[in-house]
Amino acid sequence: MKELNAPVYYDVVQQSYAYSEPTEFKCGFFMESLNESAQRNLTGGFGFDTIKRLMKF
């Protein structure tokens, strides 16, 4: 969180990190097209098309 410039400090009493002021973060997702090699790396050696066919039952 510090890398995102959050006002973080270590609270000795709670023995945990805390924010020194109210903080908000926006989270999101992005999409990108994957080539066949990248698809196989993500799916244990199967292409997405193969997985789609296997999931239809």
Measuring CA to CA, which residue among 56, 18, 50, 21 is closest to residue 36?
50
Q: Is the pTM of this model over 0.75?
A: no
Measuring CA to CA, which residue among 28, 21, 16 is closest to residue 5?
21
Helix, strand counts (H, E) of the chain: 2, 2
Q: pLDDT tens string for the chain (57 positions)?
A: 778 888 999 999 999 999 999 988 888 888 888 888 887 787 777 666 776 777 775
